[in-house]
């Protein structure tokens, strides 16, 4: 496929993949061909399955203050029961950011689409992953690599993970990224957060990308170039925003490079600690990744409903 530096550019000079995918609304997920999925099944050696989602409602109070908390109501009768969810924000837990989540300035959403296109159903979650996401997954365990090289890692400090950091972790794991892979980057943030007490969580509620310190991928287009040129179909991490937060003004918001320009879906707040443990026990950091987002017309995001099979 065409290299990042050879992609066409927007009028303000940003590389985009709109002409690469044409009318295909799956973006970089178009790399997940039948052959790629068939090859990914070869990663299953033992059949061990590891869930990659935290329980719904784990982040209380909600990390974004304008959302409020999920409400789960259960109605029981003599014959059984029923339940419902209220105030269910689809991006408040382990989730995917869909292509309707972020636009690139006045030039539009993925493919140059505008709001009227989205209102008509374009770029909804049902279009992004109509048959689910089944791919070879690769975990880059950054805290593990730092510990092995004698460096301290703090999951509650802002640290920009560079492409060199990911390459070094993958090299130490003797793992390579292949075309069509889904890259998972562990920072340890979700595990750290879930270990906090109620009062400590309350102090963090509502702050998310504005003031909440978190390690994550570096801003700017360096990671966008790396992901595109390595053929990555999607990328996810266990922190609130994939990229490091707080996001500085003028720093090159990575979301804008990946979602509307390149069509690379972003996963956030995934549960990766148990997967990291399983990978370390088996000395193998690749696996079959299965994720089935909600098939929601006009959906902006979705719980990831993801499982790794080793």
What average pLDDT does the structure give for the chain?
A: 95
Angle, helices 163-172 vs 222-229, to 10°: value is 40
Complete domains list, the chain, with CATH: 4-63+90-309 (3.50.30.50)
Q: What is the pLDDT of residue 208?
A: 62
Q: What is the pLDDT of residue 298?
A: 97
* For residue 188, pLDDT beyond 60: yes
Average of pLDDT values for 128-157? 96
Tens digit of pLDDT for each residue in 97-113? 999 999 999 999 999 99
Q: What is the pLDDT of residue 207?
A: 61
Q: What is the pTM of this model?
A: 0.96
Average of pLDDT values for 25-46? 96
Tens digit of pLDDT for each residue in 206-251? 666 457 889 999 999 999 999 999 999 999 999 999 999 998 888 7
HSE, side-chain direction, 13 A CA sphere, residue 76: 1
């Amino acid at each position: 496929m065409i290299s990042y530096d050879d992609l066409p550019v927007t009028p303000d000079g940003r590389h985009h993949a709109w002409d690469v995918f044409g009318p295909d609304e799956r973006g970089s997920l178009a790399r997940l061909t039948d052959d790629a999925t068939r090859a990914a099944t070869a990663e299953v050696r033992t059949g061990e399955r590891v869930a990659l989602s935290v329980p719904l409602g784990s982040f209380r109070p909600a990390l974004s203050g304008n959302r409020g908390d999920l409400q789960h109501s259960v109605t029981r009768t003599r014959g059984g029961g029923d339940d419902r969810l209220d105030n269910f924000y689809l991006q408040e837990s382990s989730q995917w950011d869909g292509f309707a989540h972020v636009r690139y300035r006045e030039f539009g959403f993925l493919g140059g689409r505008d709001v009227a296109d989205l209102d008509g159903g374009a770029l909804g979650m049902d279009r992004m992953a109509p048959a689910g996401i089944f791919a070879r997954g690769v975990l880059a365990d950054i805290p593990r690599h730092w510990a092995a090289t004698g460096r301290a890692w703090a999951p509650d400090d802002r640290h920009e993970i560079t492409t060199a950091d990911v390459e070094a972790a993958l090299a130490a794991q003797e793992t390579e990224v292949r075309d069509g892979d889904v890259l998972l980057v562990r920072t340890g943030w979700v595990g750290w957060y879930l270990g906090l007490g109620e009062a400590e969580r309350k102090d963090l509620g509502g702050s998310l990308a504005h003031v909440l310190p978190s390690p994550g991928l570096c801003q700017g287009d360096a990671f966008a170039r790396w992901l595109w040129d390595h053929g990555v179909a999607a990328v996810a991490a266990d922190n609130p925003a994939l990229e490091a937060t707080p996001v500085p003004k003028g720093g090159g918001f990575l979301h804008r490079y990946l979602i509307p320009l390149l069509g690379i879906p972003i996963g956030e707040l995934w549960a990766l600690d148990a997967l990291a443990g399983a990978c370390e026990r088996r000395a193998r950091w690749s696996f079959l990744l299965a994720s089935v987002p909600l098939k929601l017309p006009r959906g902006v995001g979705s719980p990831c409903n993801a499982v790794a099979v080793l």
